[in-house]
Chains A and B, each alone.
Chain A
Amino acid sequence: DSGVTQTPKHLITATGQRVTLRCSPRSGDLSVYWYQQSLDQGLQFLIQYYNGEERAKGNILERFSAQQFPDLHSELNLSSLELGDSALYFCASSAANYGYTFGSGTRLTVV
């Protein structure tokens, strides 16, 4: 157990739908990062939050949004889902420059 908890582990949904992925960071970590991992794109940085505020944005689509709550957990909202959004979505947290701690991911399948 890495200390970073992601739910759900698997999600199957239809095109056009909206889903919410949840992440609880490791205790004490203020930064949360979201990554998308797909076969053709590799690991793509989506967005970073630090203590409730957005810090950096990567290749995140306008249909996707995220937030970090006062208790530091984060949610990634994916809407108007397309087949190409099927991927593994990872959350990671960090306290300093000693690398990220990753959760085990949410596997999203859009059918």
Chain B
Amino acid sequence: GEDVEQSLFLSVREGDSSVINCTYTDSSSTYLYWYKQEPGAGLQLLTYIFSNMDMKQDQRLTVLLNKKDKHLSLRIADTQTGDSAIYFCATNYGATNKLIFGTGTLLAVQP
């Protein structure tokens, strides 16, 4: 079945770059997403990438996709304390566009 995996925790210093990694199993996924969840809040769509792209940049965010290895990453440049949150990657699955989410990576930014 479909599966999406992420590391559970990442700690960085303010101003450094953060790289959050994700692997998935469903090679038929056409869209891959990154969501951010702050404490007590819902999930906020950060960015997405089509499966025929290798990279997408959006201000401080860079998404890299390695389709061969089924590996997705999110790089946050100049990480700020406000970036502290849980980051989820997700892939769409099947004709109904159901999203399968990873376990989430807790990003802790140290001042």
- The residue in chain B whose Cβ has the minimal distance to the Cβ of A105 is B42
Tell whether, in the assembled complex, residue B92 and residue A90 are in contact, meaning their CB atoms are under 8 Å apart. Answer: no
Partner of B101 from the list A43, A50, A101 (CB cut-off 8 Å) is A43
Tell whether, in the assembled complex, residue A56 and residue B98 are in contact, meaning their CB atoms are under 8 Å apart. Answer: yes
A-chain residues with CB within 8 Å of residue B15 when the two chains form the complex: none
B-chain residues with CB within 8 Å of residue A92 when the two chains form the complex: 43
Query: How distant is B81 from chain A, measured CB to nearest CB, in Å?
Result: 22
Number of A-B contacts (CB under 8 A): 54
A-chain residues with CB within 8 Å of residue B87 when the two chains form the complex: none
Indicate the size class of the contact surface on chain B: 20 to 34
Chain B positions 5 through 37: 1 when the CB is less than 8 Å from some CB of chain A, otherwise 0? 000000000000000000000000011010100
Chain B positions 60 through 77: 1 when the CB is less than 8 Å from some CB of chain A, otherwise 0? 000000000000000000
Tell whether, in the assembled complex, residue B42 and residue A56 are in contact, meaning their CB atoms are under 8 Å apart. Answer: no
Tell whether, in the assembled complex, residue A90 and residue B42 are in contact, meaning their CB atoms are under 8 Å apart. Answer: yes
Give Cα distance in the complex from A55 to B96, angstroms. Answer: 7
B-chain residues with CB within 8 Å of residue A90 when the two chains form the complex: 42-43
Tell whether, in the assembled complex, residue B31 and residue A48 are in contact, meaning their CB atoms are under 8 Å apart. Answer: no
Give Cα distance in the complex from A42 to B97, angstroms. Answer: 19
The majority secondary structure among interface residues of chain A is strand
Tell whether, in the assembled complex, residue B99 and residue A45 are in contact, meaning their CB atoms are under 8 Å apart. Answer: yes
Q: Identify 17 new A-B residue pairs, CB closer than 8 A, beyond the known A55-B96, A98-B48, A103-B42.
A: A31-B97, A42-B101, A42-B102, A42-B104, A43-B101, A45-B99, A45-B100, A50-B96, A56-B98, A58-B98, A97-B30, A97-B31, A98-B31, A99-B31, A99-B33, A99-B45, A100-B45
Could you pull out 25 A-B pairs where Cβ atoms are within 8 angstroms? A2-B44, A33-B98, A35-B101, A42-B102, A42-B104, A43-B88, A43-B101, A45-B98, A48-B96, A56-B94, A90-B43, A92-B43, A94-B97, A97-B30, A97-B92, A98-B48, A99-B99, A100-B45, A101-B45, A102-B35, A102-B43, A102-B44, A103-B42, A104-B42, A105-B41
